[in-house]
């Protein structure tokens, strides 16, 4: 099998397995379904362009998250009007129906408000860890920082969030 065929297969598998996760990550960060879809689409387009010109990608998952994070940063630089407070209003329903859902929704709303007061770098690691379910190693590869630095940042961000939520 040719090198280009292997990379194409790797890209296709990543598209199939990571599209939803990248969408959730983007949606949680930008609170706009259409923008999140555009960001994910652009992420895969940029990745495909990178592969098609002959560049190799060692860890495609980390590469994709790095690309989408960079696109999210660019999006906020261009239009600083979006906020995480619109997540539930946009139709995100993490639990489903029932009384438990109402409690969970109110808790999520409280958490989102707490997160909105955190700096973007702190929100980023919390979302990647607890919304996207990425390991510390995957986050460190994505953000190109040591696992220790990510662990410390995550711990401090959670502490700040708790102080905001539970004064």
Per-residue pLDDT 10s for the chain (167 aa) are 676 677 788 888 989 999 999 998 888 888 888 999 999 999 999 999 998 888 888 888 889 999 998 998 888 877 654 444 454 455 555 444 444 544 455 556 666 666 777 888 888 888 888 777 888 888 888 888 898 998 898 888 888 887 877 76
| Region class of 166: left (phi > 0), else alpha (psi between -120 and 50), else beta | beta
Q: Answer yes or no: is 89 within a domain.
A: no
Q: CATH no. for residue 15?
A: 1.10.1740.10
129: domain range?
97-167
CA dist., res. 19 & res. 42, Å (int)? 12
Asked if 50 and 123 sit in the same domain, the reply is no
Domain boundary among 52, 81, 110: 81
Number of domains composing the chain:
2
Domain check: are 67 and 103 in the same one? no
Going from the C-alpha of 83 to that of each of 5, 9, 90, the distances in angstroms are 41, 37, 11
Instruction: Enumerate the H helices of the chain as residue ranges.
Output: 3-30, 33-52, 60-78, 99-116, 120-126, 136-143, 147-165
| pTM score over 0.85 | no
């Amino acid at each position: 099998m040719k090198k280009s065929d292997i990379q194409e297969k790797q890209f296709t598998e990543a598209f199939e397995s990571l599209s939803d996760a990248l969408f959730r990550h983007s949606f949680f960060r930008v609170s706009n379904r259409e923008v999140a879809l555009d960001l994910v689409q652009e992420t895969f387009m940029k990745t495909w362009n990178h592969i098609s010109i002959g560049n190799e990608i060692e860890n495609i998952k980390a590469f994709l998250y790095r690309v989408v994070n960079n696109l999210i940063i660019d999006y906020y630089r261009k239009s600083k009007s979006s906020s995480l407070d619109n997540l539930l209003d946009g139709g995100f329903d993490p639990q489903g129906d029932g009384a438990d859902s109402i409690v969970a929704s109110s808790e999520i709303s409280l958490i989102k408000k707490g997160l909105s007061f955190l700096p973007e770098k702190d929100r980023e690691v919390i979302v990647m860890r607890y919304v996207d379910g990425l390991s510390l190693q995957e986050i460190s590869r994505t953000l190109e920082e040591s696992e220790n630095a990510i662990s410390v940042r995550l711990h401090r961000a959670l502490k700040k969030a708790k102080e905001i939520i539970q004064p």
